[in-house]
Amino acid sequence: MKFRKLVNIVLVVLALGIAIIIARDFVMNRAGKVIENPYAFDVSEYAKVSADEILYEEEKVLQLRVVEPKGIAFHQGTLFVIADSSLLQMNLQGQLLKETKMEASPTAIAVDDLVWLGMKNQVVCLNFDGQEVERWENYGDRSVITSLAVSPDFVFVADAGNRLVYQCKKNGELVRQIGEKNEQKAVPGFVVPSPYFDIALSEEGYLWAVNPGRHSLENFNAEGALRTSWTSSSVKTEGFSGCCNPAHMTMMSENAFVTSEKGIVRVKIYDQHGKYQGVVAAPNQFEEVAHAPDVCVDENGRVILLDFDRKQVRIFKPKERGNS
């Protein structure tokens, strides 16, 4: 009998002790209190960029009066911005030259003597007056068109949903699919975990495509076979990190690359061989939580960013030598 009483007393004491511990833990970690995660990976150190790595300076900011900017292109002195359900044509002073309303929100843009628009799973072509010239058959429900590139003879369509690039004649006729995994042609296949899948053309007209899941850029010949590629996978400034980077890419003179990254948001320059050259815009030049800006370039070597968070077109010019 005494033993049972002793056991009951011990159980009561244990229950009270557990209740006290739970109450103390609740008070210390009550709702609204930030709890430090001992396993969190701190990337703040890698967001720092030394001054001598920054090759560009911001020259001009154009504020957009839109809700959701989507993409940007530059052609012969004019900026072409897709936003909401519209195509905007602007000069470099920010003056709106023309606005064309669309039936849906465009997802990609490229410009030559016509304006080529991705409309999720379909390509639409307009003249500069906003009149429809071409509308191709859609690529299916799974298709998500994220980028377009145009040459004198072809339009290249990056489809993140199907993880392919379509090479098409300008009437929409499919010439070939590029990027399917093919061991005979040494094509590893595109790894596209999220809707970031960008393409551009070299000065010679060869296709370059971001393979974001591999942190690489891949170059294809006229027959769609892989010619060459380069990879830079690192959390440091000179590399790409995260699940899928670079998010956006364009090419400038001498086949140099301009890349834009998400996660640690930054815009950088690489030479034609993929060698890191420096930074256009560092992480501290964007919002604390930001999206990777879309990028294009003008004929004077300026890099033009579409800042999705600030809803701005931001123009960066090369720094003068010795100006840090």
User: So what's the pLDDT on residue 134?
Assistant: 95
Taking a C-beta distance cutoff of 8 angstroms, is the pair 312, 61 a contact?
yes
pLDDT score, position 146: 98
Closest CA to 115 of 125, 106, 107: 125
What are the strands of the beta sheet with 115-118, ordered from one edge?
108-111, 115-118, 123-126, 132-135
**Any idea which architecture 47-318 has in CATH?**
6 Propeller (2.120)
Q: Name the pTM for this structure.
A: 0.86
pLDDT reported for residue 189: 93
DSSP state of 54: B
And the tokens for 123?
């390509």
- Select from 249, 274, 245 the least CA-distant residue to 198: 249
Res 184: pLDDT = 78
Q: What is the pLDDT of residue 324?
A: 56
Answer whether 208's CB lies under 8 Å from 202's CB: yes
Distance of CA 108 to the CA centre of its chain: 12
Please list the ranges in the chain whose pLDDT falls under 70: 1-43, 185, 322-324
pLDDT digits (tens, 9 = 90+) for 144-186: 999 999 999 999 999 999 999 999 999 999 999 999 888 876 7
**Per-residue model confidence (pLDDT) at position 45:** 80
217-227 burial, b at 16+ Cβ within 10 Å, e below that, comes to bbebeeebebe
CA atoms within 13 A of residue 12's CA, in its CB half-sphere: 6
Q: What is the pLDDT of residue 320?
A: 86
CA distances 154 to 12, 114, 130, 252, 283, Å, are 81, 13, 21, 20, 36
Give me the residues paired with residue 72 across strands: 81
What digits encode the pLDDT tens for the residues 257-273? 999 999 999 999 999 99
d(C-alpha 310, C-alpha 200), whole Å: 25
pLDDT (0 to 100) of residue 246:
98
Task: Name the 3-class secondary structure at 69.
Answer: strand
Q: Where exactly are the structural domains of the chain?
A: 47-318
A 10 A CB-CB count for 26 gives 10
User: How many C-alpha atoms does 64 have within 13 Å on its Cβ side?
Assistant: 30
Rounded (10°) CA dihedral 275, 276, 280, 284:
160
The total of other beta-carbon atoms located within 10 Å of residue 89's CB is: 19
Long-range contacts of 187-190 (CB under 8 A, 24+ apart): 187/225, 187/226, 188/214, 188/226, 189/163, 190/163, 190/164
